[in-house]
Structure 1
Amino acid sequence: MSDQKFFAQPNETEWTELQPGNTRRVLIHTPELMQVEFGFESGAVGAPHSHPHVQVSYVAEGRFEVTIDGNTEVVEQGGSFIVPSGLVHGVVALTRGRLIDVFTPMRQDFF
């Protein structure tokens, strides 16, 4: 029998407030892969940063101005973007919204 978690249900994990207007909750993970939900109030900023993890993000709700390596585009609900390892990236929530991010490998710094 494996200790691996195969399923994640809504509201199983608590939201963590990162700063006013920004929240995060880890949904499910393995050492190789992690899925995280981020909540943003309108106008909230995901400050520019970089990390060694590859990231793919899905806009579950809202509209975001997304900047990756100096390139900026507006991404709406249903859209996605990829951030290669090491590139500086950030977002501005143009409306209230949620991002579903997947990282590889998992981000130990989120625990």
Structure 2
Amino acid sequence: MSEQQFFAQPETSEWIELAPGNRRRVLIHTPELMQVEFGFDKGGIGAPHSHPHIQVSYVAEGTFEVTIDGKTETVGTGGSFIVPTGLVHSVVALEAGRLVDVFTPMRQDFV
């Protein structure tokens, strides 16, 4: 049995490039919960997708056009959005920025 991780420092997580202008790094997780940081260059796209996880996102920096289940809104620094299970969602970075996403349960496909 592995020891529970209580703390994480950003320099211990490596960025993975997902597409031009879009990268992620897993910050910390348990089987029930995961925190992930996404970095976007201006114009970077988080392509439309869905997953069985509940996702809540915090805009740590920048401004994003966020589409959830066909509804689009602009969300800037300090704003948040939630994506219920199974809904198609996407983002476009209107300027360079970062999202901090929390998933429940954790995303096995990210580790």
* Shorter-chain TM-score tier: over 0.9
Gaps in structure 1 of 5+ consecutive residues: none
- Taking structure 1 as the reference length, what is the TM-score of the superposition? 0.97
- Counterpart of 1:9, as a letter, is Q
- Number of residue pairs matched by the alignment: 111
Deviation readout 1:3-59 (Å, 9 max, x if unpaired): 110001121110001111111000000000000000000001100000000000000
- Counterpart of 1:17, as a letter, is E
Aligned match of 2:69: 69
Deviation above 3 Å: which 4+ runs of structure 1? none
- Counterpart of 1:92, as a letter, is V
Q: Does 1:24 align with 2:10?
A: no
What is the rounded CA distance, in whole Å, between the counterparts of 2:101 and 2:94 in structure 1?
Answer: 18
Give the 5 Å matches for 1:46-57: 46-57=46-57
Q: Does 1:93 align with 2:70?
A: no
- Taking structure 2 as the reference length, what is the TM-score of the superposition? 0.97
SS in 2 for 1:86: coil
Coordinate RMSD, CA, aligned: 1.2
Q: Does 1:107 align with 2:97?
A: no
